[in-house]
Structure 1
Amino acid sequence: MRTAALFVIALTFTGCKGVQNVLDPASPDARLVAQLGWWMFSAAAFVLIVTLGLLLVALNLYRSGGQRQISFRSSAALVIAGGVVAPVLAIVAVAVSGVAIGDEVEDPGGADGPFVEVAGEIWWWEFRYLDAEGEVIAVTANELHLPVGQRARLQLVSDNVIHSFWALNLQGKTDLIPGNVNTL
């Protein structure tokens, strides 16, 4: 019991320092990604509710001990509604919202803030802050510092292995692939 209490206390204090959270977006692009996440959650919840409703119908028919019969046409309609229509509606809703959100994400060329080259190293990140001519102004390791309220342009490069860069509050995850330059 004492160990469990210590575990709960430790978990409570782990979140005290500014935690990155997908559900707390800090940029317009992150808000769009969070919106897509909520659309996906809603679609999954819809399919779950339809499936559980059909399960309750089946359990009621089973508990009646064969007293209440359902016609083949009705059972086929239930299967089509729960197994085809509900998932297709969910997929269409997620696809439409995904395309709409993808169209809203601004082109990275419109950034008015700093230009940062992000280099994925084997066990750490290197952030090189560049001026308008591409000259290095400053370099940091494992810490990205950006001004609030400005769009920054991040150029993602790697020369060794595939890395995944994800600043949760800013935008979705982007891979750094050796020999390929990606931009956020």
Structure 2
Amino acid sequence: MSDGVFSILAVCTANICRSPLMEILLRARLDETRFEVASAGVRGWDRKPMDPAAAAELTRLGHSADSFESHPISSRLVTSADLVLTATREHRSAVLALTPQALRRSFTLVEFAELTDLVDAPDPRALVAEAAMRRSLAPADADVKDPYRRGPDVHRATADQIDAAVTRIADRLNALVATPQDAP
């Protein structure tokens, strides 16, 4: 991932449902000149399209999965990320088993969304550091349910949960990098 740009890695199981939703929604909502986003799966498939039901939810939210291809996680991806957002605590544990030094920059999506409302910082990297120090303030139930091979109602609930958390995170990160000329 590029120097000077804040990089985010979204992680789930196979990188075909939750983490692609996280990646594509974050990429759409963040300032592309200041942020870059990738995704991977802890048991990820290589170059597979998004799950059709998850892709349908992404379309419902106004985005396309047409160019998406899945990727397995690697220590290089984790090491290069300024922030790692996982779907569940189990995924976070898998990230840390691969790259233990990522502890202070790895959170579940829901956990980090909650923490961004509770901590203050002057920039994205400081926000991640402050969130890591205040992790105990995050909710205990911070997992995003796996919708794979489940009904449309589960896919919709999962997509809506991801969308809400991504919106909170993107709004906060964009505000931290906004310059005076960006203001209306």
Relative to its length, the structure with more helix (as a share) is 2
TM-score, L = length of structure 2: 0.24
Relative to its length, the structure with more strand (as a share) is 1
TM-score, L = length of structure 1: 0.24
